[in-house]
Structure 1
Amino acid sequence: MKPPPILSEALRLFFPLAALHGAVWPFLWIVVGGYALPFADAVPPSQWHAHEMIFGTYGMALAGFLGSAVPEWTDTKPAQGRTLLYLAVLWLPGRLIGFVGADAWSLPAGFFDVAFLLALSLLIGRAMLVRRTGKHLAFLVWLLLFTASEAGVRYAWWAGDLELAARCLEAALCIFTVLFSLSAARINVVVINLALDPSGETTPYRPHPGRQHMAGAMVTLYMAVRLVLPESDISAWLALAAGAAFFDRLAEWFIGRAAFRTEVLLLGVGNAFAGAGFLALGATRLGFSITSAAGLHLLSVGALGCAIMAVFIIAGLRHTGRDLTHLPWQAHIAAALMVTAGLIRILPEFDVAAILSPYHHGLSAIVWAASFGVWLQGFLPFLRAPGTDEAGACG
């Protein structure tokens, strides 16, 4: 029996779940609950919040992207129907426990989260094995490292080592940034060429291989040093190098007026946020009067927020048989709201727009929720309706 359209591939189900989680959880935590979690005791609410954004919203978005993209790249059948529902069921317990910050249930929640990520790894690994290709192996390796960082966070919480938990959360954020870099390296080629030639008959844009992978390499080195030598100044210089690599990569967006198309610009803004985030982290660890939270929020709210929304828009259209020539109005509004949410959250931490402080947390959460809400309103009907995937939709 053919599954309903929303269960026909991973992103049709997982993108809306990620958007719903991203819209509702932070709004209720910050605006309604005032940052407090009813059952959080040993673990600070700030770490719970960071964990749920990285492994909840972003983790499910990653599952939607890889669960659809890898079968497309390998020309294999994507997971459908009950398989997708089983994955969603594995993801859900961690989100419910994380919503209330139930320290006592953190370890069982971790088992579900690790099982979810391992099941996703198995699905994409099997697709590569069927085609006997290692071309996309980097995504599987980084997904397994992402799984290991989740296990590290849960272990650190169980052991009461909050400093280790903070390093594991930062490592997870870095891993996701590398995955963004790898994904953008594939998506940008398709998106920029279509922006330059909507007919798809020509491919005038060719990326520079070194520029594509330098940022990810620098982030990898930074993450390794932060984990092994947390007190060393080496990590500060590597953070500056990573930031410079992301800014160097902005040259990919020097394509004239086409750079201002929403789907192109949003990926570029996410890349710029990533560069600024690593520069801020490096400056903080060299003694400049910038809080480490500023750099981390540039990465988590700015860079990854924009990256996720860009993928939601691009893949959400192309995997439902629609092109990027005329974006629905919800795409433009959701993108603008996501960038605005990042700026509201970050600027007061650099003593810019200080008038927003201390209300910028709640205001940013409202705008952030509105971004996901607008995207859901516009794109859920597409994802629930029958549609034909376009060749090369995810690069």
Structure 2
Amino acid sequence: MKTDSQGESPMRIPQLLRGGFRPFFLGGALWALIVLVLWVAVLSVGLELPSHLDPLAWHRHEMLFGYLGAVIGGFLLTAIPNWTGRPPMAGAPLAGLALLWLTARLALLFSATLGAPLAIGLDIGFLAVLAVIAAREVIAARNRNFPIVIAVSLFAFATALDHAEALGLAVPAGLGWRLGFAIVLVLITLIGGRIIPAFTRNWLTSQGKTEHLPPQANRFDIATIAATVIALLAWAAVPYAPYAGALLLIAGILQAARLARWAGHRVVREPLVLILHASYAWLPLGLLLLGGSIFLGQIPVSAALHALSAGAMASMTLAVMTRATRGHTGRPLAADLSTRAIYILVTLGAALRVAAPLLPIDYMRAIEIAGAAWGGAFVLFVLAYGPMLIGPRPDGKP
């Protein structure tokens, strides 16, 4: 009988533990909802969180390193076997890693009682273990994706910096979360630059539209990636420096031009591909807003940050999670009504949150509406995709 890399028969492994995307996509989506609900309760009724972190720091940390840490884990553990040809992590080892992530989340939430050192150790430990696992697999296969492993390692370092600041250590204010923010955006730049033009070409070709396809990556893409990395690192280090603002504006313009080359206007009939273009569009917009906020006081920094987080990060992760879940559970790569609703709600929620300071309604009411739409996208993901993630494939395969 065929066994996986841990020596377990696939038929004996619970469905939820047969692939990294299953526990981490579902767990991440559920945690994003919990964090959102608790944050709204803090703002609306003054809820006091049992964490050693202040409410804003906890909310920011958990959305960035908690939710996105889970999605990155699920993506990596699913993509690495495709990159390397090596067996995927499943069964007990996957359960242990997922449990480490969950324990870290709960420990940080209740760290005022459990103690900060334990929570911090678990939190950094999850990302460190994930980086080690990814490095082991990539090195063993001599695969070219080692830069992504480096990015995950730096993400763990950014987590440590964020905790160090919260403990009062000599860390520049905000450096940890800004560095983590920058790393996620670089990952979107790298991975989005691979999958968006590739999926666009595939769909257009399948429709017989073989002219004016998205070009293969070239020196322009390399220059755009380099400019984005430099701009984001400059912003992470000196967020109010004029030269950081200029670099962000340059990166935003280059990213907009890069996206335009991928022929997104030709895939409006295919939601699974269109959402990737729409998600990526938040990246140049956010970079331009962030750069502009350094020079123009009329542009709120919060609008720029939410364009990049509630916009680029949330919509891109939902786009990848829906597509990957359908593909890896044997479902058709087609967006049903619930999937299209997920895309509409997350986009609407992000747009309302970015525009909240400018809307002719009460600011808190605008945030509540934006949060309801954004949170609704994750509720729908859990309801529609949760059964796929915990249930068997319809084709009966392991």
TM-score if structure 1 supplies the norm length? 0.89
Q: Which moved more, 1:215-224 or 1:59-68?
A: 215-224
Q: 1:6 aligns with which of 16, 21, 24?
A: 16
Structure 2: runs of 5+ lacking an equivalent: 1-8
Q: 1:95 aligns with which of 96, 105, 109?
A: 105
Q: 1:200 to 1:56 in 2, by over 3 A?
A: farther
Q: 1:79 aligns to what SS in structure 2?
A: coil
Q: How far 1:259 moved relative to its partner?
A: 3.8
Q: Which moved more, 1:262-271 or 1:328-337?
A: 262-271
Contact 1:29 1:35 in 2 (8 A): no
Q: For residues 29-85 of structure 1, give each alpha carbon's deviation from its aligned partner in whole angstroms, at most 9, with x where no partner exists.
A: 204763845247985422221111001111101100011101111111111111111
2:392 maps to 1:386: yes
Q: How far 1:279 moved relative to its partner?
A: 1.0
Q: 1:211 to 1:308 in 2, by over 3 A?
A: farther
Q: How far apart, CA to CA, are the structure 2 residues paired with 1:5 and 1:214?
A: 43
Highest relative contact order (Cα 8 Å, sep 6+), 1 or 2? 1
2:242 maps to 1:233: yes
> What amino acid is the match of 2:61?
H
Q: 1:368 aligns with which of 369, 374, 381?
A: 374
Contact 1:45 1:101 in 2 (8 A): no
> What amino acid is the match of 2:95?
L
Aligned to 1:197: 205
Q: 1:238 to 1:256 in 2, by over 3 A?
A: closer
Q: 2:69 aligns with which of 59, 68, 86?
A: 59
Contact 1:68 1:78 in 2 (8 A): yes
Q: 1:211 to 1:262 in 2, by over 3 A?
A: farther
Contact 1:106 1:154 in 2 (8 A): no
Aligned to 1:143: 152
Q: 1:142 to 1:182 in 2, by over 3 A?
A: same
2:58 maps to 1:21: no
Contact 2:200 2:214 in 1 (8 A): yes
Structure 1: runs of 5+ lacking an equivalent: 390-395
Q: How far apart, CA to CA, are the structure 2 residues paired with 1:154 and 1:259?
A: 43
> What amino acid is the match of 1:146?
F
2:266 maps to 1:270: no
Q: 1:129 to 1:41 in 2, by over 3 A?
A: closer
Aligned to 1:392: none
Aligned to 1:339: 347
Q: For residues 279-304 of structure 1, give each alpha carbon's deviation from its aligned partner in whole angstroms, at most 9, with x where no partner exists.
A: 11111112432221111111111111
2:182 maps to 1:174: yes
Q: For residues 72-131 of structure 1, give each alpha carbon's deviation from its aligned partner in whole angstroms, at most 9, with x where no partner exists.
A: 111111111111111122112332244467498344222112111111112211211221
Contact 1:277 1:299 in 2 (8 A): yes
Q: 1:347 to 1:201 in 2, by over 3 A?
A: closer
Q: Which moved more, 1:105-114 or 1:201-210?
A: 201-210
Q: How far apart, CA to CA, are the structure 2 residues paired with 1:264 and 1:35?
A: 40
Q: 1:102 to 1:164 in 2, by over 3 A?
A: farther
Q: How far 1:368 moved relative to its partner?
A: 1.8
Identity of aligned residues (%): 27
Q: 1:33 to 1:230 in 2, by over 3 A?
A: closer
Q: How far 1:263 moved relative to its partner?
A: 1.8
Q: 1:216 to 1:388 in 2, by over 3 A?
A: farther
2:74 maps to 1:68: no
Aligned to 1:354: 360
Aligned to 2:123: 113
Q: Which moved more, 1:225-234 or 1:34-43?
A: 34-43
For the aligned residues, what is the CA RMSD? 2.7
TM-score if structure 2 supplies the norm length? 0.88
> What amino acid is the match of 1:181?
T
Contact 1:63 1:120 in 2 (8 A): yes
Aligned to 1:186: 194
Aligned to 1:315: 324
Q: How far 1:9 moved relative to its partner?
A: 1.0
Q: How far apart, CA to CA, are the structure 2 residues paired with 1:40 and 1:385?
A: 34
Q: How far 1:331 moved relative to its partner?
A: 1.0
- Alignment of structure 1 residues 210-289 onto 2, 5 Å: 210-289=219-298
Q: Which moved more, 1:270-279 or 1:222-231?
A: 222-231
Q: Which moved more, 1:69-78 or 1:249-258?
A: 249-258
Q: How far apart, CA to CA, are the structure 2 residues paired with 1:200 and 1:19?
A: 36
Contact 1:37 1:100 in 2 (8 A): no
Q: 1:22 aligns to what SS in structure 2?
A: helix
2:377 maps to 1:377: no
Q: For residues 16-36 of structure 1, give each alpha carbon's deviation from its aligned partner in whole angstroms, at most 9, with x where no partner exists.
A: 001111122202320476384
Q: 1:255 to 1:370 in 2, by over 3 A?
A: closer
Q: How far 1:230 moved relative to its partner?
A: 4.6
Q: How far apart, CA to CA, are the structure 1 residues paired with 2:82 and 2:137?
A: 10
Q: 1:256 to 1:286 in 2, by over 3 A?
A: closer
Contact 2:264 2:277 in 1 (8 A): no
Q: 1:124 to 1:42 in 2, by over 3 A?
A: closer
Aligned to 2:136: 126
Q: How far apart, CA to CA, are the structure 2 residues paired with 1:37 and 1:105?
A: 20
Q: How far apart, CA to CA, are the structure 2 residues paired with 1:235 and 1:312?
A: 32
